[in-house]
Amino acid sequence: MAHPKRRTSKSVKNKRRSHLALTAPTVKHCPRSGVLSRSHRISEDATHYGFEKGGTKGFVVFEKDDEY
């Protein structure tokens, strides 16, 4: 098996690992319901997508059934 010729220093090790950090997902407020949701995704309680507050653009994604 291959062995390192020199010991890897802390700075070299940390520079190599600098791109491994996790980033938190970006969230926004849904303009219709005000619930936090991820960008470009439909929140759980919303049935529409693409509407701005008071706007008419957008489309209905699915019909919500109250029978659960």
Give me the helices (H) in 1-68, please.
Answer: 10-16
Q: 36 pairs with which residues across the strands?
A: 29
Nearest to 46 by CA among 62, 28, 27, 68: 62
> Could you state, in order of their start, the residue ranges of all structural domains in the chain?
25-61
- Give the 3-state secondary structure percentages of the chain, helix then strand then coil, rounded to 5: 15, 15, 70
Q: What is the pTM of this model?
A: 0.43
pLDDT tens digit string along 10-52? 999 999 999 988 998 888 887 677 788 887 777 666 666 666 6
- Tokens 């219709």 belong to 32
